[in-house]
Amino acid sequence: MSCLLLCQFMSCLSASDLRTLDDYIRHLMLQWQDREADLRMGVRLRDIQRSLSVVLIRADGLDQAKHKCPRSMTKTHGFEALLRPSLSVLMLWAQGHALAFEIKDADVYKNTNANVEGISRVLDKVYNNCNQALPVHICIVQDNCSRDCKNGLLLSWCVKLHLLQVCERISLQYPSKGHTHGPLDGLGGQAVTKCSACEFSTADSLVEIYDAFLQQSTVDGGASFKGAWKGDVAA
């Protein structure tokens, strides 16, 4: 019956509407194929990461809407009128090694430098977990944002890692453009829900909230490190 209704609906559409519908259906199919490929890659790398010395790192920013500082559960007109800048939160996951959130003050630029700092710190966790050594192959998955993820600066950093013999191979992978959601998005949704029920007045307070959240998280039970840190301080 649903197929019949769909055919009746499509018969009432104009030629331009049909083209729009076809484009949208094609978009949904590409998104589904992209998520399927991402899932297969994650499972495959999880199975071979020890034997073939490879690590999969995912990095993604968390929605800043809930991170306006200070945050209070008691809403007043005067409080809402305050200028409350948003803290930036970067989710980092080195599969099988570390799961972390990096929190930065509002005055720290959200750019390639901040992105590289977060990835470098999680690589340090991998280094410590692998007996003072890094895997031969580093695979980094991020979104298509040209501001901090997909640009020449990040590529230059990767080239430098190879030239300094930090790793033999490093690959950058990006999903297809569109409303693609990766494994970190579900975790981020849970984190924001937790944060929305808490109060904080500084970045350090938010670090404590997310550190406690990650300690209780069941994502990646094999990770040796789960926690949060403040990004714009000395390592």
Q: pLDDT digit string (tens) for 33-56?
A: 777 777 777 777 777 777 778 899
Exposure on the CB side of residue 143, measured as CA atoms within 13 A: 18
Confidence category of residue 3, pLDDT binned at 50, 70, 90 = low
CATH of the domain at 160: 3.30.420
**What pLDDT does residue 228 have?**
95
Domain that holds residue 178: 16-230
* Domain membership flag for residue 11: no
Residue 234, pLDDT above cutoff 60 = no
State which of 63-72, 75-84, 149-158 shows the largest mean pLDDT: 149-158
- Give 8-30 pLDDT, tens digit per residue: 666 777 777 777 777 777 777 77
Share of the chain above pLDDT 90, in %: 37
Residue 178, pLDDT above cutoff 60 = yes
State if pTM tops 0.85: no
**What pLDDT does residue 221 have?**
82
Spatial separation of the C-alpha atoms in residues 96 and 50, rounded to whole Å: 10
* Domain membership flag for residue 154: yes
Mean pLDDT within 179-193 = 82
* Domain membership flag for residue 2: no
Share of the chain above pLDDT 70, in %: 92
* Domain membership flag for residue 222: yes
* Domain membership flag for residue 52: yes
Please count the structural domains in the chain: 1
* Domain membership flag for residue 71: yes
Query: Do 198 and 71 contact (CB within 8 A), yes or no?
Result: yes
CB burial of residue 54 (10 Å; 0-12, 13-18, 19+): buried
C-alpha pair distances (Å), 167 with each of 132, 133, 152, 197 = 13, 10, 19, 42
Residue 181, pLDDT above cutoff 80 = no
